[in-house]
Structure 1
Amino acid sequence: MSASAPVVTGLGIAAPTGLGVEEHWQATLAGRPAIGQLTRFDASRYPSRLAGEVTGFDAEARIPSRLLPQTDRSTQFALVAAEEALGDAAVNPQELPEYGMGVITSASGGGVEFGQRELGLLWSKGKEYVSAYQSFAWFYAANTGQISIRHGLRGPSGVVVTDQAGGLDAIGHARRQIRKGTQLVVSGGVDGALCPWGWMGQLATGLLSRSDDPAQGFLPFSAAANGYVPGEGGAIIVLEDAEAARARGVERTYGRILGYAATFDPRPSSQDAENGPLDGGGGLLRAARQAITDAGLAPADIGVVFADAAGTPRLDRAEALAISALFGPNAVPVTAPKTMTGRLIGGGASLDVATALLSLRDRVIPPTVNVSEPAPGLPIDLVTEARETDARTALVLARGYSGFNAALVVGA
């Protein structure tokens, strides 16, 4: 296999902004936010009550009946997105070597909603009422396993658990397997934990927004930033060796995965000697710089940045200073379309990658909604309305709770 950048031949999306690539993309371009009051459970007694929910999803119409009782809602999203991505790539797995196709996805806690339901039955009724599928449906590798089984993808596979950074890390690992000789890897991430058990895990971070106003709940880089809003969903991509894709007759691709890097933040009390005081953004800066170098590019070659957009003043400032240190103040457009969906845990970064590829395809940068301008002291060119662009490369940034940083460079 060639050592050239692998190509993205298929996309599949299940997100609050839409089921399917074009539905999501049109909603994103129009700046239609999908954050609202949480309906998946009664959140009235919790301090945070906003979420980005996937609506209009009919599992019985989209998932084989035999899989319904053994899969969590997030796994059902992943199966639908994977099927869409493979169809979009015109891949018939039966026509390719089964050990030449792998699956690498990201996750946070696995099928949390499924697990809570079954543990509730254990506590309230007894072990006889717990589904045998609990043995694997809750597992963080369930999405990878179910996609692999359903489509006969028996090549190198795995799962990455690095919170919000996971979607980029999964794609980075997929690229590694393709460089080692695997022809095709299904990658990305779809996640969700909109149930009391999953909700408490996110509340424990202290980073959730306490606002009840959907238009004020998630305002990254704003002076009114007050935390983030969780969501569910994500994106699955089909990544292929460029020569192998050409050999099977692929004529249209979404773009290329040019560079990737990941770092881990030092202790909050330590100083970043290489980059100086960046309010904790030194690890993110290193990841971004290394990903651009890995792509064989310079910062000036990057046309747009899809930000991590944590939604808290300290983390937003750290990211803004890192971007400014790398590119210069206000030197590159920065956008955070996740303001329309919320932060999707293991699914958010891969959705940003899919959105970035669509942005390069159509030469338009989607907006950061509900934010009119960055807070004073944040030296970034924040895109708040859809903007035409001639960008041919995009840098996608992601950070996970407790210090994970990842950066991915995609090219048109």
Structure 2
Amino acid sequence: MSPTDCVVTGIDVIAPTGFTIDEYWRRTCLGESGIRVIDDFDERYDTALAGVIPDFVAKEHLPGRLITQTDRVTQFALIAAERALADSKVDLDHRDPFDCSVVTSNATGGFEFSHREMQRLWTQGRESVSVYQCFAWFYAVNTGQISIRHRLRGPGAVLVGEQAGGLDALGHARRNIRRGRCSMVVAGGMESSFDPWGWVSHQASGGLTTQRNPAEGYRPFAATADGYAPGEGGAMLVLESGDTVELGHVYGHIVGYASGFNPRNDPGYTRPMRQVINSALAEAELCPTDIDVVFADAAGTRADDVAEATVLAEIFGPQAVPVAAPKSGTGRLMAGAGPLDAVSALLALRDNVIPPAVHVQTTDLPIDLVCGQARDAPLTTALVLARGAGGFISALVIRK
């Protein structure tokens, strides 16, 4: 491997379908769902379905000093980053801290922490507000807290592109490695915003399903799809330059990345998505026929699903490449979605298996959506797609 190769050496996930890699992948391949009704919202709001991480107790994973100053989303990020670093077997004691960095994505910030402190301000006065409110709300705090905890002092960054932001974080980390700015990056995305304040923000998107039955809710590419369920969690990955690792520690190579923007914010305007996919393939020096599986954005709204399926059929041919939508079991995790799909792609390439869409039995769109049960197939290369509210589009190409 050359110094400009970008390889993944460590991964970790925190998702509604699993708090560990093994649990997440087992349930994902079985087509199980972590989406349920949030009881507190069932009678208060028009929407109540979400992918929720159950039974999380921060003190079982983090020291008290960090719990005091962090929101739930940052606690997830700290835990996943620590476990991804352990998985990578990176010896930070013998690495230059200025050669190691952190790049994350987050779309909502620390909603739960901020909501609590604002309630204190309104009911108890300004003296009651935590001093940590000054940064705990901030979408960049995950990068900062991971960097501080592990002494990663290289060129850090945070990217905000809603659902596309997580792939942008991986793409930016790869760019830093390829340009020699650092040799190791902890990169990924994490989200959690299910307090009432955050939930109203989700509702404002206008795209949430109003179903109460999880089996009838978020069903991307189904003819009856009526919206999506949001989710919490995400994934963290350790990316390294090819000359710093041994081949046996590598999950896969990130060989292509591109991002773009739909200026019309109109699903029917599909040219930007085609350009982004083709640009990612071109950077990877691959043809459409080289892609073995596509991990779709899977919006769950009819217009967006039709647009994505149309583009995939135009580029790869109708039903010519298997399409996976594992986020149908977790909900749309915003910045956490792309990294989680990237991890799913790496595990799919490792095991030669494509996980099924959850609660989707068939599609009337011109794609080969993997439904019902996992599909065994020889896999070498995967394309991961993401679209964010407002017109953001990103694509990542991963090879075994």
TM range (shorter): over 0.9
Residue number among 303, 314, 318 corresponding to 2:303 in the alignment: 314
Shift of 1:281: 2.4
**Which residue does the alignment assign to 2:53?**
54
Shift of 1:152: 0.4
Q: How many angstroms apart in 2 are the aligned matches of 1:49 and 1:120?
A: 23
Shift of 1:268: 5.0
* Contact map agreement 1:258 1:409 (CA 8 A) in 2: yes
Secondary structure of 1:69 counterpart: helix
**Which residue does the alignment assign to 1:273?**
none
Q: How many angstroms apart in 1 are the aligned matches of 2:297 and 2:110?
A: 24
Q: How many angstroms apart in 2 are the aligned matches of 1:146 and 1:65?
A: 14
Give the TM-score taking structure 1 as reference length: 0.94
Which one-letter code corresponds to 1:291 in the other structure? A
**Which residue does the alignment assign to 1:362?**
351
* Contact map agreement 2:293 2:381 (CA 8 A) in 1: yes
Secondary structure of 2:117 counterpart: helix
**Which residue does the alignment assign to 1:396?**
384
Q: Does 1:350 align with 2:339?
A: yes
1:32-43 to structure 2, matched below 5 A, reads: 32-39=32-39, 41-43=40-42
* Contact map agreement 1:168 1:349 (CA 8 A) in 2: yes
Secondary structure of 2:227 counterpart: coil
Secondary structure of 1:251 counterpart: helix
* Contact map agreement 2:209 2:226 (CA 8 A) in 1: yes
**Which residue does the alignment assign to 1:254?**
251
Q: How many angstroms apart in 2 are the aligned matches of 1:283 and 1:405?
A: 8
* Contact map agreement 2:265 2:391 (CA 8 A) in 1: no
Equivalences, count: 398
Secondary structure of 1:19 counterpart: coil
Q: How many angstroms apart in 2 are the aligned matches of 1:179 and 1:37?
A: 44
Q: How many angstroms apart in 1 are the aligned matches of 2:399 and 2:198?
A: 35
Q: Deviations over 1:378-404 (max 9, x none)?
A: 110000020011120000000000100
Q: Deviations over 1:185-236 (max 9, x none)?
A: 0001111111112111221111000000001110110011010000100000
Using the TM superposition, name which of 278-287 and 94-103 deviates more.
278-287
Q: Please identify runs of 4+ aligned residues in structure 1 that moved more than 6 A.
A: none
**Which residue does the alignment assign to 1:335?**
324
Secondary structure of 1:259 counterpart: strand
Q: CA RMSD in A?
A: 1.3
**Which residue does the alignment assign to 2:272?**
283
* Contact map agreement 1:102 1:148 (CA 8 A) in 2: yes
**Which residue does the alignment assign to 1:373?**
362
Residue number among 382, 389, 398 corresponding to 2:369 in the alignment: 382
Which one-letter code corresponds to 2:368 in the other structure? D
Give the TM-score taking structure 2 as reference length: 0.97
**Which residue does the alignment assign to 1:272?**
none
**CA distance 1:129–1:43, shift in 2 (3 Å):** farther
Using the TM superposition, name which of 3-12 and 235-244 deviates more.
3-12
Secondary structure of 1:410 counterpart: strand
**Which residue does the alignment assign to 1:274?**
none
* Contact map agreement 1:2 1:179 (CA 8 A) in 2: no
Q: Identical aligned pairs, as a percentage?
A: 51
**Which residue does the alignment assign to 2:232?**
232
Which one-letter code corresponds to 1:254 in the other structure? Y
Q: How many angstroms apart in 2 are the aligned matches of 1:172 and 1:233?
A: 20
Q: How many angstroms apart in 1 are the aligned matches of 2:126 and 2:331?
A: 36
Which one-letter code corresponds to 2:199 in the other structure? W
Which one-letter code corresponds to 2:35 in the other structure? I
Which one-letter code corresponds to 1:350 in the other structure? P
**Which residue does the alignment assign to 1:118?**
117
Secondary structure of 1:322 counterpart: helix
Shift of 1:43: 4.5
1:12-411 to structure 2, matched below 5 A, reads: 12-39=12-39, 41-181=40-180, 182-246=182-246, 251-267=248-264, 279-375=268-364, 378-384=365-371, 385-411=373-399
Which one-letter code corresponds to 1:380 in the other structure? I
Q: How many angstroms apart in 1 are the aligned matches of 2:284 and 2:242?
A: 16
Which one-letter code corresponds to 2:95 in the other structure? L
